[in-house]
Structure 1
Amino acid sequence: MESINAKYVSQKISKTRWRPVSHSSLQQPDIFATGSWDNEENKVSFWSILNNGGSEVEDGFEGDPHLLCEQRHDGDVMDLQFLDQDRIVTASSTGAVTIFRHHQNTQTVSVSQQWVRAHRYPCDNAPCTGVVCSSPEIVTVGEDGRIIVFRADQEGVIRVIENADSSTIHAVTYLRTTEILTVNSIGQLKLWDFRQQNNSPSQILSLSGDRVPLHCVDRHPNQQHVVATGGQDGMLCVWDVRQGNTPFSLMEAHTAEMWEVHFHPTNPDHLFTCSEDGSLLHWETSSHVDMPSFLQGGRNSSMMSHSAVLPPGGNQSLVSAWLSGDSTKGRLETTHMLPSQTLPVNSLDVLGQCLVCGTDGEAVFVNRQVSV
């Protein structure tokens, strides 16, 4: 906790993302973007955690994020994803999808492309709730139950699945190059294969019992069949899309809505979640009970876990540690990453050893020494 820097930013932060770094380099991320919500004027902002060679940063301490540039954003920023090093895509509560370009030589931001009212009802705008990018392709989902595919180099829309869902689609992620996953407000996880011309999901998975809304989804970076979701009840669900149509394991994570879940992109034995309850959790699983933990302080191994048994004929070494995660056997440990928080933590992102999160407390927290 000692390595966390808090920055008061005078706006409620709805989303935050690190600018991607080259996979071939060992460079740590140094720039992140934020989007705001519920403010008189919402903004997309770019921040740096570098000191630009100086020992002190203006109006801050060493290591504090400092503002590079910002641009007004119409509506709440519902989601935010980097398309590449210079461009970022936003999903707006107005239904618009916008590509912003960060000009690093002049530290300015401009709108490079926009699809106004991409998501809409017959007589009103519908919030665009989620976006995922695989340059130049952009996929968005919305409260209107539509899935829309764009290309950054084309003005028109590539494909629309009009009635993808009868309920709100809250989030979307790529499963594979031609497949996406969506989660909705009635507890369903749907797989869509863009190679198919019909507008029906190729698979539907759901939480049994109550239809608890799912708010977030992330795919394991190395094992595409392993997926994590979180929702209104604060539970962390891990799914194996190859095995059955219900979650493989359910873990009690938060006492209120879980807003985001992210596997660490290069060390997926680590996973991070944030919640309306004001907490940010770091989860670590290991394949070996005696594996030493890198986590220091605030450790908690008492989380409830209801894990399914290994599938018949399953090879333990080939099964993701998340599919055998069981806190009662010491396989799963959790750490609270923030000091006592009362206001919601709406968004997080992790890259390398750097973690950033944004809150309704008009603050951004950055940790540059995450143990992964």
Structure 2
Amino acid sequence: MEGRYVSQKISRVRWRPTTGSSLQLPEYFASGSWDAEKNTVCIWDTVTEDTETDQLFLENTKPLCDIQHKGDVMELQFLDQERIVTASSTGSVIVFRHHEIDEVLSVVQQWERAHYHSHDSAPCTGLVCNGPEIITVGEDGRINHLQVDQKEPVRTIDDADSSSLNAVTFLRTTEILTVNSIGQLKIWDFRQPGNNPRQIYSLTGDRVPLHCVDRHPNQQHIVATGGQDGTFCIWDVRQGSIPISLLDAHSAEMWEVHFHPSNPDHVFTCSEDGSLWHWNASVIAPDLPSFLQQGRRNFSLNGTVAHADINQSLSSAWLTMDAAKGRVDIENLLWAYALSVNSLDVVGEHLVCGTDAEAIYITRTLEL
């Protein structure tokens, strides 16, 4: 994995969705910055010709266009191939359009005070898109249901949470899942009247803030989260109210967790501690003793030691009960790295990540 200096701290990176065949390789990605006098959203073009190394691949990656962004980019998602939605630390939610002919970005929609306190704005901390639907959450504990072609929200839940909502994902078309700063997951069903969640799940013990969440692409009841203490959790929202598995993963805050979209036995996480981990639960090693048992076990990660505290065993489906058949392999994709890795995205064998070292790293050779 090779890096490219971009002169801004990168808070979010996302591949642009491809058209046609799912085997088509991504050619463009978007980035958002933070902690600068003038933050930006930028579209990048990656080389499409075959190159021998990631370094050559990255050297041919070039910015196509950018636009100034008011406030830090707290979240960034592609609505479709042309439009990008961002969440701002100012409380705004902004829709940009990429005009490919002129190679420019323009603002086409904006909700300036989507999130706010009584006397000040509140950062919009997360959003998720599904077609024209946009769901946003913020430090004000508010949930907004927006539509890209409507200026007014479809629905707002003003007092959804008494603590900061940090991330959101769709479970189904009418259901979302949020994570908050006291270690809770909440499921909201927009078909139900009222402003109360349908279900609440919680980490046991200390109320450790959860920063990120992702849903398994094929099994909607499986959810992964990451928190302030670096813990990686797997939840089955069909049963119980606590995670089925907890792994003491990173040594600092976990900022993002993503299932691989087409090979979800693989999960990727990034952290404040400067690490970018590839978790492979598809490894079958029946001749080796498994650490996937009740209690605490140590396992070696390319010379470093991590700990796992697992309630149930994991395998390619993350929920199997047969602990003797599987183990989780973990590889750190960034070595000897100190500054925070804030964001990642993965499609096929292509992974991109953004860092506080004002660098973007790309690999096109993931081993899946």
Superposed CA offset, 1:317-345 (max 9, x none): xx963124999975101001013110000
The answer for the alignment partner of 1:197 in structure 2 is 193
Report matched runs for 1:39-54 at 5 Å: 39-50=36-47
- Aligned pair partner of 1:7 in 1, 4, 8: 4
Farther off after superposition, 326-335 or 142-151: 326-335
Superposed CA offset, 1:205-232 (max 9, x none): 0000000000000000010000000010
In the aligned structure 2, how far is the partner of 1:62 from the partner of 1:183?
Answer: 36
1:71 aligns with 2:67: yes
How far did 1:101 drift? 0.4
Superposed CA offset, 1:182-216 (max 9, x none): 00000000000111121100000000000000000
- Aligned pair partner of 2:256 in 231, 254, 260: 260
The answer for the alignment partner of 1:102 in structure 2 is 98
Equivalent residue letter for 2:69: H
Superposed CA offset, 1:128-147 (max 9, x none): 00010001000000000000
- Aligned pair partner of 1:365 in 354, 361, 367: 361
Contact 1:287–1:321 (Cα < 8 Å) also in 2 = no
Q: 1:326 to 1:95 in 2, by over 3 A?
A: farther
In the aligned structure 1, how far is the partner of 2:165 from the partner of 2:359?
Answer: 28
How far did 1:286 drift? 2.0
Contact 2:11–2:34 (Cα < 8 Å) also in 1 = yes
Contact 1:306–1:326 (Cα < 8 Å) also in 2 = no
Q: 1:291 to 1:134 in 2, by over 3 A?
A: farther
- Aligned pair partner of 2:203 in 179, 202, 207: 207
- Aligned pair partner of 2:31 in 34, 45, 69: 34
Report matched runs for 1:166-315 at 5 Å: 166-286=162-282, 288-290=284-286, 299=302, 303-309=306-312
Contact 1:307–1:324 (Cα < 8 Å) also in 2 = no
Contact 2:248–2:309 (Cα < 8 Å) also in 1 = no
In the aligned structure 2, how far is the partner of 1:291 from the partner of 1:271?
Answer: 24
Equivalent residue letter for 1:308: N
Q: 1:25 to 1:266 in 2, by over 3 A?
A: closer
In the aligned structure 2, how far is the partner of 1:301 from the partner of 1:22?
Answer: 40
Is the partner of 2:154 in helix, strand or coil? strand
In the aligned structure 2, how far is the partner of 1:186 from the partner of 1:123?
Answer: 24
Superposed CA offset, 1:79-107 (max 9, x none): 00000001000000000000000111111
Contact 1:300–1:335 (Cα < 8 Å) also in 2 = no
Superposed CA offset, 1:166-196 (max 9, x none): 0000000001111000000000000001111
Q: Which runs of 5+ in 1 are unaligned?
A: 311-315
How far did 1:290 drift? 4.8
In the aligned structure 2, how far is the partner of 1:306 from the partner of 1:242?
Answer: 21
In the aligned structure 2, how far is the partner of 1:63 from the partner of 1:309?
Answer: 40
Return structure 1 stretches of 4+ with deviation > 6 angstroms: 325-329
Superposed CA offset, 1:11-33 (max 9, x none): 00001100011363421111000
The answer for the alignment partner of 1:335 in structure 2 is 331
The answer for the alignment partner of 2:79 in structure 1 is 83
Q: Which runs of 5+ in 2 are unaligned?
A: 289-299
In the aligned structure 2, how far is the partner of 1:282 from the partner of 1:327?
Answer: 20
In the aligned structure 2, how far is the partner of 1:282 from the partner of 1:54?
Answer: 24
Farther off after superposition, 236-245 or 63-72: 63-72
The answer for the alignment partner of 1:16 in structure 2 is 13
In the aligned structure 2, how far is the partner of 1:260 from the partner of 1:326?
Answer: 28
1:164 aligns with 2:160: yes
Superposed CA offset, 1:226-250 (max 9, x none): 0000010001000000110001000
Is the partner of 1:119 in helix, strand or coil? coil
Q: 1:327 to 1:37 in 2, by over 3 A?
A: farther
What percentage of aligned pairs have identical amino acids? 59
In the aligned structure 2, how far is the partner of 1:333 from the partner of 1:83?
Answer: 33
Equivalent residue letter for 1:29: P
The answer for the alignment partner of 2:297 in structure 1 is none
In the aligned structure 2, how far is the partner of 1:67 from the partner of 1:327?
Answer: 47
In the aligned structure 2, how far is the partner of 1:191 from the partner of 1:118?
Answer: 21
In the aligned structure 1, how far is the partner of 2:324 from the partner of 2:177?
Answer: 30
In the aligned structure 2, how far is the partner of 1:325 from the partner of 1:143?
Answer: 38
In the aligned structure 1, how far is the partner of 2:304 from the partner of 2:212?
Answer: 24
The answer for the alignment partner of 1:313 in structure 2 is none
In the aligned structure 2, how far is the partner of 1:202 from the partner of 1:320?
Answer: 29
Equivalent residue letter for 2:255: W
The answer for the alignment partner of 1:138 in structure 2 is 134
